[in-house]
Amino acid sequence: MLRKMSVIILLILTALWVTNSDSIRPAREFIQNNIYVWSETQEEKLPIYCVDTDKKQIALTFDTAWGNEDIPQILKILKQENVKATFFFCGDWISKYPADIKTIYEEGHDIASHGDYHKYMTKLTDKQQQEEIRGVTEKIQGLLGIKIDLFRAPYGDYNESVVKNARKMNYYIIQWNVDSLDWQEPTKEQLIKKVCEHKNLSPGSIILMHTGTKCTKQALKQIIRNIKAKGYELVPVSRLIYRSNYRIDLTGKQIKLYANIGNPSDLAAVVQNDAAGIGLFRSEFLYLEASDYPTEDEQLKAYKQVAETMAGKKVIIRTLDIGADKQADYFNLEKEENPAMGYRAIRICLTREEVFKTQLRALYRASAYGNIAIMYPMITSVDEVRRIKEISKQVREELVATGVEIGEVEEGIMIETPAAAIISDLLAKEVDFFSIGTNDLTQYTLAIDRQNSKLDEFYNPHHEAILRMIKMVIDNAHKEGIWAGICGELGADTELTERFVEMGIDELSVSPACVLPIRKIVRDMD
């Protein structure tokens, strides 16, 4: 059942079957499938099911509506494992166990609302919904003297009026994309497997668990350790979500729409079109516009300008992609019969290390002024990535040793060769992110020189082989807990936007003028 409403509703039904928009009845078994209802209105006012994040962070949440017998043990485990979680409380639970909620708050966990009396919110009038939310707010205010702004409706039971009323009261509506099903009282082993091997477990996931069950406290320690072993940090929801300038796709995931730029003069268009960041900054303009190798300081000036202008938003800078159709005379590159498949991009960097190191030094220095990530093009092997990592590590250590301040820098690679796509499962273990360069990926996969106009009729970027490769890359990225985006021209192809979203793409980086049209398509999907 899908119908247009004023908000996205992602109903993950626990013991309910939706018969129509206004009525529900109990079901005999848990409904595994999610039901999506897409919005025609403001995407900022939609429930949050997971977050598109560059960090390997996952939120652990507990719905707290039953007894308190397991609270001491749960808190002990969280303290031992140095984990902060989010507890969604019902008002009547707060009234029964005020000492427990004080302890939970004092130990640094998020305090959030789960409705005053754990009612099906969609069965209530507007006034009753507001009272159900307000009751928790008032109890928390009176007990702890704090204001809360996170709300989760009991049973995940949302409709248009629930969202409207919650947002009117300035609450962020939190759902989940990893359901432990601990309320079904599985065995300890079953619960651990359900959470830790969940298909949706990835950066930005929100895990739903419950207090008051027999199995949750038994499995919790191992669940936390297994997730940490995968390289994740467990954080409260308040640290995970964006509180402004976010967009949500039809799965409830906050998706980033980034812009591609060729030089700093494009920044005005990026800001004007409200891009979430820069997904591809083509640094080769510095080399193509110069008569000699640009110095470290010359490069620093350009990178710093972009980083500061974007004011904390992500700026992904691609290292030089000289060669092929982009030639700089002072590189003294020999003429090649097929330069697109020749001495270019990372192959130049790995054989002319000083040129490469100069750029890396400038990039790392610029990282102190903003949120910079580095992306390496034309990768074909794991060995190349490891050689890059050795060089970049050396550069960082040299800068730090001389007292130069550098920021935290993500390092990723472009997937633009069939070789990289096919071994993306191996490459994902080495880097922080993938960005799929569809222009070259199409050219190399179809064995067609995209500069040869005689072959235009054979050049098909919608070829099923290309789309299958993209899906494979996305899946392999997510298996290793990293994100995957598209920065090639295909990212702006409106015929494929919906398919990319369905594939699970985390980021689309397009020309600034395409940001708003693509955003509208995502918003209007049904």
What pLDDT score does 14 carry? 28
* Cβ density class 503-521: b for 16+ within 10 Å, e for less: bbbbbbbbbbebbeebbee
Task: For residue range 128-142, list pLDDT tens digits in order.
Answer: 999 998 899 899 999
Share of the chain above pLDDT 70, in %: 87
CATH number of the domain where residue 270 is located: 3.20.20.60
What pLDDT score does 468 carry? 96
CATH number of the domain where residue 59 is located: 3.20.20.370
User: Does residue 93 contact residue 122 with C-beta atoms inside 8 Å?
Assistant: no
More confident site: 333 or 217: 217
What pLDDT score does 254 carry? 64
Least confident of 9-18, 104-113, 127-136: 9-18
Domain assignment of residue 249, yes or no: no
What pLDDT score does 449 carry? 78
Task: For residue range 263-275, list pLDDT tens digits in order.
Answer: 888 888 887 776 7
More confident site: 282 or 46: 282
Q: In whole angstroms, give the CA distance from residue 268 to residue 259.
A: 11
Domain assignment of residue 177, yes or no: yes
- The residue count for the chain: 526
How many structural domains comprise the chain?
2
Q: Is residue 272 domain-shared with residue 123, that is, in the same domain?
A: no
Least confident of 185-189, 233-237, 278-282, 430-434: 278-282
Q: In whole angstroms, give the CA distance from residue 29 to residue 16.
A: 8
Mean pLDDT of the chain: 83
Question: What is the token pair recorded at 18?
Answer: 């939706």
- Of 214, 240, 266, the residue at which a domain comes to its end is 240
Provide φ and ψ at 375, rounded to 5°.
Answer: -130, 135
Select the highest-mean-pLDDT range: 8-12, 317-321, 483-487.
317-321
More confident site: 287 or 393: 393
What pLDDT score does 409 carry? 93
Domain assignment of residue 289, yes or no: yes
Question: What is the token pair recorded at 117?
Answer: 């009396």
- Of 206, 240, 274, the residue at which a domain comes to its end is 240
Domain assignment of residue 3, yes or no: no
Domain assignment of residue 248, yes or no: no
Kindly list the distances between the CA atom of residue 362 and the CA atoms of 21, 368, 392, in Å, as whole numbers in the listed order. Answer: 57, 11, 12
More confident site: 426 or 159: 426
Q: Is residue 439 domain-shared with residue 295, that is, in the same domain?
A: yes
- Of 240, 265, 300, the residue at which a domain comes to its end is 240
Instruction: Give just the sign of the alpha carbon dihedral 194, 198, 203, 207.
Output: negative
Asked if the model's pLDDT at residue 374 lies above 60, the reply is: yes
CA 337 from chain center: how many Å? Answer: 41
Q: In whole angstroms, give the CA distance from residue 457 to residue 45.
A: 44
What pLDDT score does 11 carry? 28
Q: Is residue 315 domain-shared with residue 168, that is, in the same domain?
A: no
Q: Can you give 99-158 as a three-state secondary structure string?
A: HHHHHHHHCCCEEEECCCCCCCHHHCCHHHHHHHHHHHHHHHHHHHCCCCCEECCHHHCC
Q: Is residue 222 domain-shared with residue 306, that is, in the same domain?
A: no
Q: Is residue 76 domain-shared with residue 146, that is, in the same domain?
A: yes
Q: In whole angstroms, give the CA distance from residue 294 to residue 4.
A: 54
Q: In whole angstroms, give the CA distance from residue 80 to residue 107.
A: 12
- Domain residues for the domain of 345 are 255-524
Q: Is residue 226 domain-shared with residue 267, that is, in the same domain?
A: no
